[in-house]
A and B are shown apart, each in its own frame.
Chain A
Amino acid sequence: MGKKTYSFFPGCSLKASGHENTQSLLKFCDMVDIELEELPDWNCCGSSSAHSVNHDVARDLPLRNISLVPKGQPLLIACPSCLIRLKQSFLGLKNDGNLQKKYEQDWGRPFDPGLEIIHFFELFKRIQLKAYIKDPKTRLKGIKVAPYYGCMLSMPPDLRNEPSHYGLMEEALSSLGADVISYGYETQCCGTYLSVAKPKLSERVVTQIISRAMDAGAECLVTACAMCHLNLEIRCALKNPIPAFHFSELLSMALGAENQKKWFPKHIVDPLPLLKQRGLLKS
Chain B
Amino acid sequence: MIALKKGHGELARQIQERSGINFNACLHCRTCTNACPFVAGMDYPPNALLRLVQMGMEQEALESSTIWVCVGCNTCCSFCPMAIDIPAVMDSLREKALATGVKIAEPDIVSFHDEVLKTIEKYGRTHKLEIMMRYKLKKRDFLSDMGVGLKMLKKRKLDLTPSRIKDKQALKKIFKKQIKQHKIDKQ
B186 at the interface (CB under 8 A from A): no
For window 78-121 of B, CB contacts with A under 8 Å fall at 78, 80, 83-85, 87-88, 91-92, 94-95, 98, 106, 108-114, 116-117, 120
Is A49 a contact partner of B145 (Cβ separation < 8 A)? no
Convert B115-151 into 0s and 1s, putting 1 for each residue whose CB lies closer than 8 angstroms to a CB of A: 0110010001111100010010000000011001001
Chain B interface extent, by class = 35 or more
Between A and B, 27 residue pairs with Cβ closer than 8 Å are A17-B128, A17-B159, A44-B126, A46-B120, A50-B117, A50-B120, A51-B91, A55-B91, A57-B120, A106-B173, A154-B74, A155-B78, A156-B74, A157-B78, A189-B37, A189-B71, A192-B71, A194-B38, A194-B69, A198-B108, A199-B145, A205-B37, A265-B155, A266-B155, A266-B157, A267-B155, A268-B155
Given known A-B contacts A49-B112, A160-B78, A15 and B38 have beta carbons under 8 A apart:
no
Is A157 a contact partner of B80 (Cβ separation < 8 A)? yes
Is A230 a contact partner of B157 (Cβ separation < 8 A)? yes
A57 to B108, CA, bound (A): 21
What are the residues of chain A within 8 A of B113 when measuring CB–CB?
48-49, 52-53
A247 to B68, CA, bound (A): 31
A266 to B41, CA, bound (A): 32
Q: Which of B69, B126, B175 contacts A201 (CB 8 A)?
A: B69
Is B117 a contact partner of A54 (Cβ separation < 8 A)? yes
B166 at the interface (CB under 8 A from A): yes
For window 130-150 of A, CB contacts with B under 8 Å fall at 150
Which residues in A have some Cβ–Cβ distance to B below 8 Å?
Answer: 12, 15-19, 41-44, 46-58, 60-61, 64, 84, 106, 150-151, 153-158, 160, 187-189, 191-194, 196-199, 201, 204-205, 230, 234, 265-268
